[in-house]
Amino acid sequence: MAKLPMFREILGQSVKKPVTNLFPTIRMPKSITRFFRSVTEGKAEIVPPVATPPVFRGKIVYDRTACNGCGLCLKVCPTHAIEQVAYPPMTVTVTDEKGNVTEKLKTEKRIRIYIASCVFCGQCSDICTKGAVAMGNEFLLATEDRFAEEQIAE
Ligand code: SF4
Ligand code: SF4
């Protein structure tokens, strides 16, 4: 007798529509090659195929011009996906009081985020007082190369 509700549930589920999103198959263009060619020619755009909510935590968006290199985000990142980098490496000429001229490497601290190591926890954007990191809405991030250009935000 106890199995009756289970059978009823199985029968009910078997005639219901799937509740899962059919992505990505339903969104696939007929020809991937033609689609990418259109993207290259500016005739098509790769966008998230479904709307994301405002609080969605997707690929990090980093604004280097707003960042002051304080390093707070590095400290809170649980996966060590962020490293501090010197930017931009430039050589400046320095003249001391005796007139000696030397060349020094002048840099400012900035960060580099390895998206493949990010778990999208949002800690970095929460702690950044400059608004230099934010959670974006991009989520099509599968790749074979974790160090590809689009996998690194800097
Ligand atoms: S992104 Fe924000 S928290 Fe991270 S180093 Fe830059 S200013 Fe500091
Ligand atoms: S969102 Fe990603 S980069 Fe930012 S703290 Fe979390 S794991 Fe690190």
Q: What is the pLDDT of residues 78-94, one digit of tens each?
A: 999 999 998 876 677 88
Could you tell which of 62, 72, 129 is best to mutate to test the pocket of ligand 1, judged by most ligand atoms within 8 Å of the CB? Answer: 72
CATH of domain 51-154: 3.30.70.3270
| Helices assigned H by DSSP within 41-139 | 72-76, 123-127
Residue-wise pLDDT tens digits, 95-121: 888 888 888 777 789 999 999 999 999
Q: Is the CB of 81 within 6 Å of ligand 1? A: no
Domain ranges in the chain with CATH number 3.30.70.3270 = 51-154
Residue-wise pLDDT tens digits, 13-34: 888 877 766 655 556 778 888 9
Other C-beta atoms lying within 10 Å of the C-beta of residue 60: 22
How far apart, in whole angstroms, are the C-alpha atoms of residue 84 and residue 109? 7
Question: What torsion, rounded to 10 degrees, do the Cα atoms 58, 64, 65, 71 define?
Answer: 100
